[in-house]
């Protein structure tokens, strides 16, 4: 399985990668992008099975990336948010656009594992 981690913070991408390993997903193919625009370019050349994406990012936000992917047709690609924006209005917007889950930072290996249970 190919997992794409999209976050403008290198520190946070590192935390997500470490937590993925601790949650038992270390043997998957994991790629990184630093914002939605970069992720979109990478997805066009090699789409992942799952995108784990931040909400607030420069150039292109997470919700704008999800909308762009929806317009192109995601063809089974799963999409989840890993964000500090865990309010009900953000969660509603994520759900309305077809996100599989919204995991709020800070998170643990257990909460990440639970979020990924239905998609990975």
Instruction: Give the footprint of another protein on this chain (CB under 8 A).
Output: 8-12, 14-15, 18, 56-58, 83-89, 104-108
Task: Give the shortest CB-87-to-another protein separation in angstroms.
Answer: 6
Across-strand partners of 50?
A: 3, 78
Q: Please identify, using beta-carbon distances, which residue of 18 and 72 lies nearer to another protein.
A: 18
The distance of closest approach from Cβ of residue 85 to another protein in the complex, given in angstroms and rounded to an integer, is: 6
H or E stretch covering 116: helix 109-116
> Cβ closer to another protein: 72 or 95?
95
Phi-psi region of 59 (alpha: psi -120 to 50; beta: other; left: phi over 0): left
Q: Nearer Cβ to another protein, position 58 or 98? A: 58
Nearest to 33 by CA among 64, 60, 63: 60
């Amino acid at each position: 399985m190919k997992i794409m981690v999209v976050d403008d913070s290198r520190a946070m991408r590192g935390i997500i990668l470490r937590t993925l390993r601790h949650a038992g997903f270390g043997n998957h193919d994991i790629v990184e992008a630093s914002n939605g625009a970069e992720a979109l370019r990478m997805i066009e050349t090699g789409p992942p099975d799952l995108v784990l994406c931040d909400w607030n990012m420069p150039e292109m936000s997470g919700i704008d990336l999800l909308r762009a992917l929806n317009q192109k047709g995601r063809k089974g690609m799963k999409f989840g948010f890993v964000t500090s924006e865990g309010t009900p209005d953000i969660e509603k917007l994520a759900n309305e656009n077809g996100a599989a889950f919204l995991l709020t930072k800070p998170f643990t290996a257990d909460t990440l594992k639970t979020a990924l249970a239905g998609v990975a």
